[in-house]
């Protein structure tokens, strides 16, 4: 297998950052080398320079999409970190529903949730299950849950909603597996009841997403940690503009917007933190 040279790493790291926002320093050369090595064989390239040349000149965009699928981290699990989903059930949803009932212009209370980097779907199905567990009867609500991700392969798997034993054993409570999944051979597939609550689309967070509409709750967890400070600030400012004034933002447990995006302020609920715009009317 060809080794990546420092010059090749520089060109690929710039391409990756420009395409995905992910900033990779020199210590990550091994990551690019290992994850892109299969593409050398697929596209009959003798070096990473040749792969880069083919990528830049591929008019179909197929090679760029494959590069994104290889590079983007899709580490996820059901109910990851657990606490944010408890916060969703016992703090965010009750506060949001109380506020919406006072201002809703329709009979059904709107609840619009965006998972901004849904990976292979475990997070967004966890959100949908938490919503169902909290509200039980969804008929009084107009629920819209959308998951987006930059990876075509991730979105396809998320949309299918089928997971192996290894995948569902990571975080899925046994009672939820019985209630919200159907056994399908060696795997389990999400029930139609939960799947019908969710829609998916491919989206690069570096690009304009204003066409998605406005949101009451946004999950954007463990994504911006890979971005440069400038790209991170830009992302959360744009997310803020896509949120209702009293909407809730949930980011990763190791992340913080302190000093990054001053238009947000943090609020603690038990072991978790959520963010709201500083213009929000607190409920």
Q: What is the pLDDT of residues 176-232, one digit of tens each?
A: 999 999 999 889 999 999 999 999 999 999 999 999 999 999 999 998 988 988 999
Buried b (16+ CB within 10 A) or exposed e, 110-146: bbbbbbbbbbbbbbbbbbbbbbbebbeeeeebebbbb
In a shared domain, residues 225 and 138: yes
Alpha carbon separation from 175 to 45, 75, 83, 178, 179 (Å, rounded): 49, 24, 18, 5, 6
Do 95 and 234 fall within a single domain?
Answer: yes
Q: What is the mean pLDDT of residues 151-175?
A: 94
Domain match, 264 and 149 both: yes
In tens, the pLDDT along 77-120 reads 999 999 999 999 999 999 999 999 887 777 899 999 999 999 99
Q: Find the CATH number of the domain harbouring 186.
A: 3.40.50.150
Q: What is the pLDDT of residue 281?
A: 45
My answer on whether 103 and 28 are in the same domain is no
- Same domain? For 194 and 268 the reply is yes
Total count of domains within the chain: 2
Give the chain's count of helices (H) and strands (E).
Answer: 12, 10
In a domain, 45, yes or no: yes
Provide the CA 33 distance to its chain's centre, in angstroms: 25
| Cα angle 169-172-174, degrees, rounded to a multiple of 5 | 90
Cα 251 vs. chain centroid, distance in angstroms?
10
* Residue 99 and residue 61 share a domain: no
216 found inside a domain: yes
What is the per-residue pLDDT across 16-64, written as a single tens digit (0 to 9) for each? 999 999 988 888 899 999 999 999 999 999 999 999 999 999 989 899 9
Is 54 among the domain residues? yes
């Amino acid at each position: 297998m060809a080794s990546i040279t420092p010059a090749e790493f520089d060109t690929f790291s710039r391409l990756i950052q420009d395409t995905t926002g992910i900033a990779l320093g020199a210590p990550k050369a091994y990551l690019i080398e290992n994850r892109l090595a299969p593409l050398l064989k697929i596209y009959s390239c003798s070096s990473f320079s040749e792969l880069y040349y083919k990528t830049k000149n591929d008019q179909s965009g197929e090679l760029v999409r494959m590069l994104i699928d290889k590079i983007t981290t899709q580490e996820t699990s059901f109910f990851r970190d657990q606490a944010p989903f408890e916060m969703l059930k016992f703090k965010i949803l009750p506060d949001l529903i109380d506020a919406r009932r006072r201002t809703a212009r329709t009979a059904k209370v709107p609840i619009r949730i965006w998972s901004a980097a849904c990976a292979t779907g475990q997070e967004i199905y966890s959100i949908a299950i938490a919503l169902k567990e909290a509200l039980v009867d969804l008929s009084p609500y107009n629920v819209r849950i959308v998951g987006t991700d930059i990876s075509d392969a991730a979105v396809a798997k998320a949309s299918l909603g089928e997971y192996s034993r290894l995948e569902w054993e990571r975080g899925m409570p046994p009672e939820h597996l019985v209630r919200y999944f159907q056994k399908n051979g060696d795997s389990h597939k999400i029930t139609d009841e939960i799947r019908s609550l969710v829609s998916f689309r491919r989206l690069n967070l570096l690009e304009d997403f204003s066409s998605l509409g406005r949101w009451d709750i946004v999950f954007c967890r463990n994504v911006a940690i890979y971005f440069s400070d400038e790209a991170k600030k830009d992302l959360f400012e744009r997310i803020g503009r896509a949120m209702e004034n009293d909407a809730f933002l949930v980011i990763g447990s190791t992340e913080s917007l302190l000093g990054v995006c001053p238009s947000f302020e943090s609020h603690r609920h038990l072991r978790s933190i959520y963010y709201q715009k500083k213009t929000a009317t607190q409920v």
